[in-house]
Amino acid sequence: MTTMTSKRVVVTRPIVGICFMQVCAEADATDEEILEVCNRENPSGTRNGWTTVVRHAGDCGMATKMSEPTVCGSDPKRLHFLASC
């Protein structure tokens, strides 16, 4: 996954359920950075686009403990985040 680490935020799963997508990002990536990439590279098709980066259970209606960021299996300095629309 050397291409993944060359960008701060990379779309890794464009569809997770009906209202989430997953990105792999530098641990210090901001919500704004993540959402900008999400909306540019994988538009949600909804009026508001991708609006929330799930960092904690409850950040959006369907986010649970399992939705929280996890360490990337390929690079422990990166995290996998879910974005919701």
**pTM exceeds 0.85 for this model:** yes
In 3D space, the residue among 10, 8, 19 whose CA is nearest the CA of residue 63 turns out to be 19
What confidence tens digit (pLDDT) does each residue in 55-79 have? 998 787 777 788 899 999 999 999 9
| Pairwise CA distance, residues 76 & 30, whole Å | 18
Summarised one tens digit per residue, pLDDT across range 9-55 is 999 999 998 899 999 999 999 999 999 999 999 999 999 999 999 99
Q: What is the largest CA-CA distance in the chain?
A: 35
More confident residue, 69 or 4: 69
**Is the pLDDT reported for residue 2 higher than 50?**
no
Residue 71: predicted pLDDT:
97
Which residues in 1-85 belong to E strands, given as ranges?
A: 9-16, 20-26, 52-54, 70-71, 78-84
Alpha carbon separation from 76 to 4, 16, 26, 81 (Å, rounded):
13, 22, 10, 14
Residue 1 has pLDDT above 90, yes or no: no
